[in-house]
Each structure stands twice: as structure tokens, then as C-alpha cells.
Amino acid sequence: MTHLWVRAEQRPNEERVGLMPEGAAALLAAGIRVTVEESAVRAVGIAGYVAAGCEIAPAGTWPDAPADAIIFGLKELPEDGTPLPHRHIMFGHAYKGQPAGQVLLERFRAGGGVLYDLEYLVDEAGRRVAAFGYWAGFAGAAVALKCWIAQRMADRAGPVSPYAGRDVLLDDLRADLTTLTHTAAVARPRVIIIGAKGRVGTGAADLCTAMEIEATRWDIEETAHGGPFPEVLQHEIFLNCILARPGCPVFVPTEALQADRALSVIGDIACDPTSDFSPIKVYDRATDWSVPALRVCDAPVLDVTAIDNLPSLLPVESSEDYAAQLLPSLLTLGDLSGGVWGRAMAEFERNGGKA
């Protein structure tokens, strides 16, 4: 019997889950054994999984799971260097030259396990079967706007934390803007979104629309010439929604720090600063929930926000959306040799995951 083990996320500020109780019930009905670890932070309570008929395990016990269990989580495993003998479904961030990713692949080689990277679960046409992109874009645009508001208040963006839902987030942003406009006559920022037609860009654009902010929306047609892109510097906020990959143009080169520019906030929603293919060359590390913005220039000010688990700002909506997209693929776990799983395995091997 195929056995899926849903681990508790161990990364700080991560409340999402890739399988909802309804999806677990569907897997059980299909003959797949499901174990769900308890979690004190998961946005979805354990009671729903109990009611669905799942087996429940203590948080963090996945290393002791049966050898044939498939361990399913979203974000990073604890970086303890231990060999990984299990098959894992997760976001590995390991195939674009990231230093931490190379360490992760070495752990799989040492343990004989397999990584089915969620970023590389694709259909026959090469399109991802499930993505958090929309909510990453929505939340990333919100954090970038918070950074811009803080700048106008001669401050830096403070810590961020999960919201109970989309409307609560929007109400918070509106309150921030109201405070700002009561302090000074400030126009709405000019925003440019690159990758506006994709899932991430659509979410970012929807946040701007909800906040009555007009956004310049660029996609492949506007960026195909490869640069330079002086228009980016003419907007107060730039939202990057393009994944780093070979051939990706550079939208913000290092010279932008000394350039005459209106740009004061970069929201790198795709967030892959350690990749050689990153299109933003003015920063080199992700930001986090406690300090969401990295100041890379003081005169004129330029802040970069690059949180790599943005959808967890809205953990319920993003989990529901993602789990619904992924469930059809999870239902095919009984055949790991073909379909999305076979393609993910081939990607793992192509990137040196096997000894």
C-alpha cells in the first residue's frame, strides 16, 4: 500500500500544508495510507484529519517513518546534515546552483533517498501542475507596499505575520495608507509588474487593483529584447514575478544603485537571490518575517523585500488553493514511474541527486 506521511513544517513562520482533510479523505478512499503529523502552528487543525480517518503521529517524527513512506512537506528540512533515506515531496530549491541545495542533494545521495521537487511536478507540456504563485504575488505586493509606506513615514517596514484572511490583510493596508495620507499629501506609488500574465503576476496585480493602485504590467513581449530596462527605475515599486532561470534578463543591475531613479522598493516575489540567474543584482540574500526589507542603498533609498514563503502570510487560502491543484497528482502516487512523478524523478537524477 502506498503510504503518504504529511510532516509538520519545522521552519519558522510556516503554517501552510499541501493536503487538506478533504483531500486526505480522497486519498484514503483511493487506497492510499495517510499519516499526518501533529502541528502546533499548522493553519488547518488536526481534528479534520482525524475525522477523515488519517493516522496521527507526533510532530517531527518523520525520520522514523517506515522506509517505504513518502514524506510530504513544503519547506526546508532541518539543516542537520543527516542522510535522507526516504522519498520526499517538497520544495528543494536545489537545481539552480543554490549552495544550500547542493548540501541537500548530498544528503539524498548519502541516504539513498529521492527528492520529488514540487517546483518540478509538471504536465506533458512542462507546465507546473500546482503552484502557490497567485498568493505569493498577492502577499508579495502587499509587503512591498508596506515597505513603501514605511519609507514615506521615514521608517523601515516592521515585522509581518500571518493574516486570518485576504480581507483582513486589505483592511490593514488601507489603514496604513490612511495613516500615511493624514500625515502628508502622498500620491499612490507607481508600480511595475514583470511577469504580469503568470500566476504570481496575476496575484500581484489583483492586490494593486484592490488597493486602487495602477500598475504597469509587463510580460515576455516587453522583456524579450533582453534589456536594459530603464523603465523599471521610473517606478517607485518594482514587483519581480519571473523565476530565475537560464537566459533570464537582468532587470535591476548593480549600476542601478547609483542611477537617477524613482525606484525605492523592489519586491522580489520570485525570490532566488543565490541563483546565478537572478534578474536582480543589488542584493544577495532573502529577507524574513522579522525584518522584511533589506536596505541596499541609503541615497536615494532602495529597499528589497524577498521573503521566500510569502503565501504563508495567508496560510488558509493559499493552502486550500494549492492542495486542490495538487490532489489529482497525489492520487497517482501508486505509480511513481510515470506521469508527474516520473518526470520529477528524471529531474532529480539529471541534477545529480543519485550517487
> Helices in the chain by DSSP H: which ranges?
21-29, 47-52, 99-111, 133-152, 166-183, 199-210, 220-223, 315-330, 339-350
93 is catalytic: yes
Q: Which of 93, 96, 146, 235 is catalytic?
A: 93
DSSP one-letter string for 326-352: HHHHHTTTT-TTSHHHHHHHHHHHHTT
Residues in Cβ contact with 226 at an 8 Å cutoff, skipping those fewer than 6 apart: 249
Query: Cα separation of 289 and 291, whole Å?
Result: 6
Q: Which amino acid is at 117?
A: D
Query: Which pairs with CB-CB distance under 8 Å and at least 24 residues apart come from 338-344?
Result: 340/121, 340/122, 340/123, 340/129, 341/116, 341/121, 343/120, 343/121, 343/122, 344/116, 344/117, 344/120, 344/121, 344/122
| Burial environment of residue 162 by CB neighbours within 10 A (0 to 12, 13 to 18, 19 or more) | buried
Q: Which of 3, 75, 197, 281 is catalytic?
A: 75
Query: Cα separation of 340 and 350, whole Å?
Result: 15
Query: What is the pairing mode between strands 215-218 and 191-194?
Result: parallel
182 is catalytic: no
List of E strands, 155-275: 191-194, 215-218, 237-240, 265-268
Residue whose entry in the numeric block shows the C-alpha cell 536615494: 300
What residues act catalytically?
A: 75, 93
